[in-house]
Amino acid sequence: MFKVIFLANKTGARRLPLLALVFVLGSGIGLLAQSLDSLQKLEETVVRPSLRQDEVTGQTPYSLKPQAAQSLSDLLQRQSPFYIKSYGAGLLGSISLRGSGAAHTSVFWNGVNLQNPMNGQLDFSLVPGFFLDQAQVYSGGSGELFGSGALGGVISLNSEVKAANQTEFAAILGSFGQASGQAGLNRLFGKQAFRIRAFYSKAENNYSFINRGLPGKPEQTLEHAQQDAGGLLADYRYQIKEKQSLDLHYWFQQNKRFLPPTMLEQNSVAEQNDLSHRVVGEFRHSGKLDFLFRAAWLHDELLYLNPAANIHSNSINDGLIQDLEFRKQIKRHRLFASLHNTYYQARQAAYGETRSQWRQALDVAHTYIAKNGKVRTALRQELWKGKAVPFAASLSGELNLKNIQLSSHLAKLYRIPNFNDLYWQPGGNPDIQPEEGFSGEVGIAWKKQNDVNSLQTKLTAYTSLIDNWIIWLPENGIWSAQNIRQVLSRGLEYRLEAGHLANQSYWKLDFNGSFTLTENQKASSGSDLSVGKQLIYVPYWKHSLGLTWNRGNWKLGYRHVWNGGVYTSADNSSWILPWQTGSFTTDYSFGLLGTDFSLRGSIENISNTQYEIMEWRPMPGRWFRLSIHLKI
């Protein structure tokens, strides 16, 4: 195993978990005092979205299929049309939804926003697929329901208990010293269910690459890239009555990563250590008035060490969150309202002192449900620093015509600056304003199926205009956060799925893609050459094609990803070339002595393509992975 040392205030750190559990459990103690005379057995468990997630209209989510051996970054790269900015195997991964920045996509886990309040992001490479039961991507502005930070879209992650007693184990081996062990246990006790999952993984990541940054472009081996990670996830459900339940979730994770040099550096001694505790408690009541209460505590630490540059940077933040959600159906009208209270505290030497922030918000929505569609209006008002920020609102609709569905979504959006934008010294700007703007989309979907064939497709056209886009620019020799840019995005998203059953075999083809134009509309100075140019690290296009075959115990699959080139300078004078990769997987499943076995092998980057996603950061060439899964 590994050891990560954090130089935080240990006394305070020890107290925080206890205080958080008191906060989460104490917030709902009155709810547990109700009569428990009804001994209701747990029904078949399915992933249950929050009430506000049910309110999404006019935006069809991309549903990802979680894979135990892949991170959220890997899942998004392979299964979605969205651009994932990866610094290398197991290194920082973030997303650009419809040309937006990494801080413009909110990530919710069991209804709680995981965006780091210090930098506004979540590192997708640190989210293990083994901990996910559902992963969905809602592209397009959704701030009227999901709050600040959802200018580009929302990623919803959920973990749940299962409906049956089960024990599972997995062992995974791969190229470049990859090794991982996973274990899970699910148990039912009358009206209670408990599930726990744990993993440990390590990797050397010592793959070879062509260094185009050196004369002669020699082949080198990536050094100082080792990684260790471990985590535990616990889910608990108590079915109080038929229409009342209590859910508790706890997620612990620790990661240690050595940060390799770029192609332009001779060596690196930098490393990064991440630690997270996440606790969520939720009470849900269904009836004439649907009601949901949620409380959460989030704790994250990031320690960055670079002895060569004499850097020892420790970033620590805590979040306390309380949500109330209500929903009422009156004939064809559905009314929704929610209250949110959030407190963030952050500690970082560059801030000068401990910084804190309160946020309160009210959401209201009305949905009219017709026989062949629905129309929804929504409004959100948030308080920040005790003052109202620009409100968020939306108007959306869906119309169903036999095999065709038409959809539309128009929204007014905003994003509150993160702690780094406000307080980092030098350069932070306490007077910086929230980003705000508009987005709109229209879509058409077609679906048809019978006992042998199925076919569905969707095309979406979208646009957005964001003002006060926050960017860090040099001023008097110091980089500082400023509201400078106005960014216009427009584009297309398209997807197709086809299935065919023949001779006891099932074939499935899926294709998705996107085309994006994202340009700066406002100059920051007279010498600014970025006006009218594509934003950096936003490709014009990305496509993904998958083909799978199932027959009996066998499953074969092939996935091909095409990624357009990206510019690496604001004036578009430098760029990274387009790239494409293919991967092949094979699965064989069988039962023996009451145990279900699954064997999987995969070849990644079959063509051994040499490519970069972030400039001067090489990605791995051809590599292999083998795994065995047992379920008892």
- Residue 476 confidence (pLDDT): 72
Cα angle for residues 387, 388, 391 (degrees, 5° grid) = 165
Beta strands per DSSP E along 242-390? 244-258, 271-285, 289-306, 311-330, 333-347, 355-370, 373-384, 387-388
pLDDT grade for 143, boundaries at 50, 70 and 90: confident
- Residue 30 confidence (pLDDT): 39
pLDDT tens across 8-44, in order? 343 344 444 444 444 444 444 333 333 333 333 444 4
Residue 599 lies in a domain: yes
Residue 172 lies in a domain: no
**Which residue, among 187, 246, 190, 252, has the nearest Cα to 31 in the 3D structure?**
246
Average pLDDT, the chain: 90
**For residue 45, what are the CA distances in angstroms to 49, 64, 160, 165, 175?**
12, 19, 8, 12, 37
- Name the more confident of 50 and 9: 50
pLDDT grade for 146, boundaries at 50, 70 and 90: confident
- Residue 55 confidence (pLDDT): 76
Question: How many Cα atoms within 13 Å fall on the side-chain side of residue 513?
Answer: 15
Q: 304-316: string of b/e by CB count within 10 Å (b at 16+)?
A: ebeeeeeeeebbb
Q: What is the dihedral of CA 420, 421, 422, 427, to 10 degrees?
A: 90
The answer to whether the beta carbons of residues 436 and 413 sit under 8 Å apart is yes
Map tokens 């917030």 to a residue: 27
Q: What 3-state DSSP class applies to 137?
A: strand
Residue 420 lies in a domain: yes
| Whole-angstrom distance, CA of residue 560 vs CA of residue 539 | 17
Map tokens 């004439």 to a residue: 288
**Which residue, among 423, 429, 430, has the nearest Cα to 480 in the 3D structure?**
429
Residue type, 189: F
Cα angle for residues 80, 536, 427 (degrees, 5° grid) = 115
- Residue 61 confidence (pLDDT): 84
**Residue 486, token pair as written in the block:** 């106005």
Q: What 3-state DSSP class applies to 553?
A: coil
Residue 167 lies in a domain: no
Least confident stretch, 129-143, 260-274, 593-607: 129-143
- Residue 329 confidence (pLDDT): 95
* CATH number, domain with residue 553: 2.40.170.20
Question: By residue range, what is the domain housing residue 28?
Answer: 10-46+54-157+179-631
pLDDT tens across 60-107, in order? 788 999 888 899 999 999 899 999 999 998 899 999 999 998 899 999
**Which residue, among 206, 215, 160, 211, has the nearest Cα to 186 in the 3D structure?**
160
Order of all β-strands in the sheet with 112-113: 62-64, 134-139, 153-158, 105-109, 112-113
User: H or E element: which one contains 626?
Assistant: strand 623-631
**For residue 451, what are the CA distances in angstroms to 275, 499, 503, 504?**
49, 10, 13, 13
The answer to whether the beta carbons of residues 541 and 514 sit under 8 Å apart is yes
Residue 185 lies in a domain: yes
User: H or E element: which one contains 396?
Assistant: strand 392-401
The answer to whether the beta carbons of residues 231 and 201 sit under 8 Å apart is no
Q: Is the pLDDT of residue 6 over 90?
A: no
| Whole-angstrom distance, CA of residue 57 vs CA of residue 497 | 22
Share of the chain above pLDDT 90, in %: 78
pLDDT tens across 321-364, in order? 999 999 999 999 999 999 999 999 999 999 999 999 999 999 99
Residue 183 lies in a domain: yes
Map tokens 């509150």 to a residue: 416
| Whole-angstrom distance, CA of residue 122 vs CA of residue 195 | 25
Q: What are phi and psi of 423, to 5 degrees?
A: -125, -10
Residue 577 lies in a domain: yes
Q: How many domains, in total, are found in the chain? A: 1
| Whole-angstrom distance, CA of residue 500 vs CA of residue 479 | 57
Q: Is the pLDDT of residue 536 over 80?
A: yes
The answer to whether the beta carbons of residues 116 and 579 sit under 8 Å apart is no
Q: Is the pLDDT of residue 4 over 80?
A: no
What is the β-pairing status of strands 541-551 and 505-520? antiparallel
Residues 6+ apart with CB under 8 A from 558: 546, 547, 548, 582, 583, 584, 585
| Whole-angstrom distance, CA of residue 532 vs CA of residue 530 | 6
- Residue 26 confidence (pLDDT): 46
**Which residue, among 43, 63, 45, 65, has the nearest Cα to 53 in the 3D structure?**
63
pLDDT grade for 163, boundaries at 50, 70 and 90: confident
Residue 163 lies in a domain: no
The pLDDT of 562-570, averaged and rounded, is: 94
pLDDT grade for 526, boundaries at 50, 70 and 90: confident
Q: Is the pLDDT of residue 149 over 50?
A: yes
Least confident stretch, 47-56, 86-95, 224-233, 575-584: 47-56
